[in-house]
Structure 1
Amino acid sequence: MSTFPDGFLWGAATAAHQVEGGNVNADLWAAEWAPNSHFAEPSGDACDHYHRYPEDIAILADLGLNAYRFGVEWARIEPEEGYFSRAALDHYRRMVGTCLDHGVTPVVTYNHFTAPRWFAAAGGWSGAAAVDRFARYAARVTEHIGDLVPWICTFNEPNVVSMMVHLGLVPAAAREDGLGLSDGAGAPAERPRATGSWPAPSVEVMAAAHRKAVEAIKSGPGDAAVGWTLALIDLQPADGGEDRCAAVRQATELDWLDVSRDDDFVGVQTYTRERIGPAGLLPVPDGVPTTQTGWEVYPRALGHAVRLAAGHAQVPILVTENGMATADDDARVAYTAGALEGLAACLADGVDVRGYLHWTLLDNFEWTSGFAMTFGLIAVDRTTFTRTVKPSARWLGDVARANRLP
C-alpha cells in the first residue's frame, strides 16, 4: 500500500467560467458569441454551479474528499473598472463558508483565464495598468475572503499562451484547439480580438502581476499560502530533439518555475507527455491509447512533472489539476491510479507534495470544445442539471478516506 502523509489534501477542481454559467461580463463570453467563433458552442448556463454550489460541495464532501479548488470570477466581482460588487463578493464568501461547514479546505483561484470585458478593451495584459488593476482586484477579494482561505492561486497556467504563441506548442492542459489561439495542427494563430485579455506571452509581465498580487494578498487578512499554477507537460526528447526539447522546457516551464521560488507553493497541472524531435512536436505513436482530446494516455507524466517542479522551484507542490477526458470511467480510474502511484513514489523519495486535486469535479464547458469533453467525476445533465456521481468519484473518495492507494 502507498500511504500518503497526514493532512494530505484530496479533492477536485473547477474553474468559474467553466461551471458557473451566465458569465456575461467576461471577455470569453463575448468570444463565444462572436461571428466565426472558435468555440464549438457558448458556455451559456454551463453547470449552473453559481446557484448549485451547495449541492456540489456537499457531494464532494460526502464522497470523502477534503479539498475543493474553485475560482472567483473577476468579471462578476469588478464588472466595470473600479466598481466592486458586494453581492458577488458575498457570494464567494458563502462558497468558502460552505466548504468549511463541510470540512472541506478551500483552494481559491483568483484568475482562471477569463477577465472582465472592460479589462480586455483596455488592452488586457498588454495594457500599461494591467499589473496594478490585477493587484487592486486581488486586494479587494482578499479583504473580503482572506480570513477564511488557507490556499490562494493568483493565476491559472499563465504559461499556456507562451507555449502556444512563442513555440507553436499547444499544451495538454489547453489542447482543445488552443482555446481559440491556434489552428487545428497546433500552429500559433493571430490572437483573436475577442480574447484580447489573455495573458501576453511574457513571463516578465505575468510575473510582475503575480508578485504585486501576492504582496496585496499577504497584506490582507488571513495567512494563506500563495502561489500560481502552471501547465507542466512531461516533455521528452526523441532522437535528435534534445536541444530543441531543452529550449522548449526552458522557455515554457523553467522560466516560469523560477518565479515560483519566492512563493509558498507551486500548483502542478499535468495530463500527458509530449515528445519533441528536431523539427518540433511529434504525433502520438500509432496504436497508443488516447483520450477524447487526442492526448496520449500517459499517467506517469504527473510524477515526472512533480519532480521537475520540485527540483527547480524548491517549494512545496500542490497538484492542482490532473485527469483525463473519457467516456470510459474504468479508464479514468486506471489513469488516476497510475498517476497517484507516481505521486506516491515522489513522496517516498522525499518530494514535498501537499495534495492532489483532480480535474475536474463536474463534466463542464471545456473551452473551444464546448461540452463534448467529459473530464468530470460527476456527470451533469445538459437540460436539467441533475448531478450523477460516477464510479471514479467513489473510487477517489475511498482512496482519500483511506489516505492510501492500493
Structure 2
Amino acid sequence: MEPFKLKTDFLMGCATAATQIEGGDQNNSWYDWSVKRLIKDGSSCVRADDHYRLYREDAELMQSMGLEVYRMGLEFSRIEPQRGVFNEEAIEHYKDELRLLKEKGIRVLVTLHHFTNPMWFEEMGAFENMESVQIFTEYTEYVVRQFGDLCCEYVTINEPNVYAVNGFTFGEWPPAKKSVAATFRVMKNMARAHIAAYELIHRIRSQQGYAGKTMVGFANHYRVFVPYRSNNIIDKAVAGLFDRAFQGAVTDAMAWGKFSFPLGLFSRKKGDYCDYFGVNYYTRSAMRGFENTFLPGKPVNDLGWELYPEGIRLLSERFYKRYNKPIWITENGTCDHKDAFRAQYVYDHLKALSQTNAPVERYYHWTLMDNFEWLEGESARFGLVEVDYETQKRTIRRSGAFFSEIIKNKGVTEEMCKRYLDSTEAAAIKK
C-alpha cells in the first residue's frame, strides 16, 4: 500500500439519518413497516441506536474521532406529527443538537428528508401526490426559520431515485407499490419539491440575514452502470438506459430544472438549483439484458455489492464536468460485519479521490455507527463504530481509528499503511 496526501482544505466526517439512529418515533412510515414484520431480521427502527436520548454522548464520540463535518437528518414526523401542527419540543431538541456540535467545532449539513414520512403524509400518497410539493415547502420553511443562524447547509432530499424505485417499482419499501408510472411521478414531484425548497431556503436566509454561507443541494444515489458482456449490444444499450432512468433524468431535473424523459415535461424556468453536487456512491452495476447484477470474480461486501473504488473518481469527474459544481461525497461506505476490509475500503476510495482533478471538497463516510439499515434491519453493519443494540454501548472499530488518523494527518502515511492495511483481510470474491 502506498501513502497519499489529501488537500489541506478537504473536510472529512460521517453521515447518518434520523430514523436509522434515533429510536423512539412511532409515527413514521418505516416504523409502520417494522410493525408489519417486513424487516428481514425482525428488528424495528423504534430501537435503533437510541441517539435521540444519547446525542450528547454521540457528539463527544464524534469530537474524539476528530470529525470535521457531520451530516445529520431530521425526523419529519417528529417535527410535523400532524399536518400543519409543528412540535416545538422536537425542533428545540434538534436546535440543541446543532448548538452542541457547533460548540465542538463540527460543521453540520442537515438533511430535511431521508426516506421516511409522517404517517399522515404517507396515507395521502406522500410524493405521489401533487400536493406534496406544497407540504414539503411548508415543512422546510418552518425548519429553516427555526434554525436561523444555527444551520446554513442543507440537503433537501436524500436519494429520491432509491426512494422511488424501491417503494414504487420493486415494492420492497413503503408503500410497496409496483408501478413504473408511479415511480417516475414520485421522482418528478421530489425534484419539484427540491427546487421549491432550494429557492425558499435561499430567500429566507437572505431576507433574514442569517449568518453563514447558504449551501443547498440534494444527495442522489449514483452507480457506474456497465454492460455485463462488454461486446453485447443489448447489454450496452440497457446500461445506458438504466443510467438515464435511474439517475440521469432526475439529476438534470433537480440540478437544472430540466424535466425530460422519463420524468415527463414540467414547465419550469431553467436555472441552477444546487450549490454543491452531492454524491452517494457505493458500487457498480453490470447489466445483463435487463438483469441488474454484478461482474463475476470481483470483491464484494457482506451484502454482495461489488467494491469498485475507481467509481467514486469517475463519477466525481463526470458530474463536475456536466454540472460545474464542487463535489461533496455525501455518502460512501460498506457493509462489513467483522470490520475485516472496511479500512481497506476507506483507503481505496480516498486514494481514488486524491488522484482526481475534480474539486472534491468533502467526504462523509456512511456511517458513523451501526444503525437500522432499512430493509436489512440491524443485521447490516456499516459503522466505523460498533453498536451493541442490547446495551447501546459504542466501540470505535479499527477502521474508525484509521479514519480518525486520516483526518488528523490529511492522508495516509507509510506507517499507517503498515499498521492498518498490510494485515487487512480481503473482501469476499463473488464467483
Per-residue Cα deviation, 1:193-229 (whole angstroms, up to 9, x for no partner): xxxxx98654321111001111221122334200000
Alpha-carbon distance, 1:181 to partner:
7.5
- RMSD over aligned CA atoms reads 2.2
What is the identity, as a one-letter code, of the residue corresponding to 1:399?
I
TM-score (normalizing by structure 2): 0.83
User: Structure 1 CA distance, aligned partners of 2:90 and 2:294?
Assistant: 44
CA distance in 2, matches of 1:40, 1:180: 16
Q: Following the alignment from structure 1 to structure 2, what is the Cα–Cα distance between the partners of residues 105 and 288? A: 37
Match of 1:212 among 177, 196, 206: 196
Distance, in Å, in 2 between the alignment partners of 1:298 and 1:310 is 20
1:60-71 to structure 2, matched below 5 A, reads 60-71=62-73
Which residue in the other structure is 1:250 paired with? 244
| Alignment counterpart, residue 280 of structure 1, candidates 275, 291, 301 | 291
- Alpha-carbon spacing, 1:146–1:80, altered in 2? closer, same or farther (3 Å): same
1:140-190, Cα deviation, whole Å (9 max, x unpaired): 10011141223200000011145457876xxxxxxxx954688xxxxxx63
Aligned to 1:133: 135
Distance 2:289 2:152 in 1: 44
2:422 corresponding residue in structure 1: none
Counterparts of 1:57 and 1:371 in 2: how far apart (Å)?
Answer: 22
Whole-angstrom CA distance in 2 between matches of 1:156 and 1:36: 22
Which residue does 2:178 correspond to in 1? 190
Partner of 2:117: 115
| TM-score, normalising length: structure 1 | 0.88
The number of aligned residues is 382
- Aligned residue for 1:56, secondary structure, equals helix
State which of 253, 260, 263 in structure 1 corresponds to 2:255: 260
- 2:327 equivalent to 1:317: yes
Does the CA contact (< 8 Å) of 1:2 and 1:341 recur in 2?
A: yes
Cα shift at 1:100: 0.7
- Call closer, same or farther: CA 1:82–1:181 in 2, change over 3 Å: closer
- Match of 2:282, SS state, is coil
Q: Secondary structure at the match of 2:406?
A: helix
Report the Cα offset of residue 242 of structure 1: 1.4
- Tell me the residue number matched to 1:44: 46
Q: Quick one: distance in 2 between partners of 1:83 and 1:343?
A: 44
Q: Which residue of 2 aligns with 1:382?
A: 389
Structure 1 counterpart of 2:20, from 15, 18, 26 = 18
**Match runs of 1:22-171 below 5 Å:** 22-34=24-36, 40-164=42-166
Aligned equivalent of 1:328: 338
User: Identity of paired residues, percent?
Assistant: 30
Contact 1:162 1:252 in 2 (8 A): no
Aligned to 1:301: 311
User: CA, structure 1 residues 162+383, in 2 after alignment: closer, same or farther (shift >3 Å)?
Assistant: closer
Could you list the runs of 5+ residues in structure 1 that have no partner in the other structure? 169-176, 183-188, 192-197
* 1:214–1:399 CA distance, 2 compared to 1 (3 A): same
Whether the aligned pair in 2 keeps the contact of 1:257 and 1:309 (CA below 8 Å) is: no
Paired with 1:201 and 1:333, the residues of 2 have a C-alpha distance of 40
Q: Aligned pair in 2 of structure 1 residues 313, 166: CA closer, same or farther (>3 Å)?
A: farther
Q: In the alignment, is the contact (CA less than 8 A) between 2:227 and 2:287 conserved in 1?
A: yes
Code of the aligned partner of 1:215: E
Contact 1:126 / 1:200 at 8 angstroms: preserved in 2? no
Structure 1: distance between partners of 2:125 and 2:174 = 18
- Secondary structure (helix, strand or coil) at the match of 1:329 reads coil
1:338-359 superposed Cα distances (whole Å, 9 cap, x missing partner): 011111112xx2x111100000
Larger Rg: 2
For residues 199 and 377 of structure 1, do their structure 2 counterparts lie closer, same or farther at Cα, with a shift above 3 Å needed? farther
- Whole-Å Cα distance in 1 between the matches of residues 185 and 343 of structure 2? 35
In the alignment, the residues of structure 2 paired with residue 228 and residue 385 of structure 1 have an alpha-carbon distance, to the nearest angstrom, of 31
Counterparts of 2:24 and 2:4, CA distance in 1: 42
- Paired residues of 2:220 and 2:278 also in contact (CA < 8 A): yes
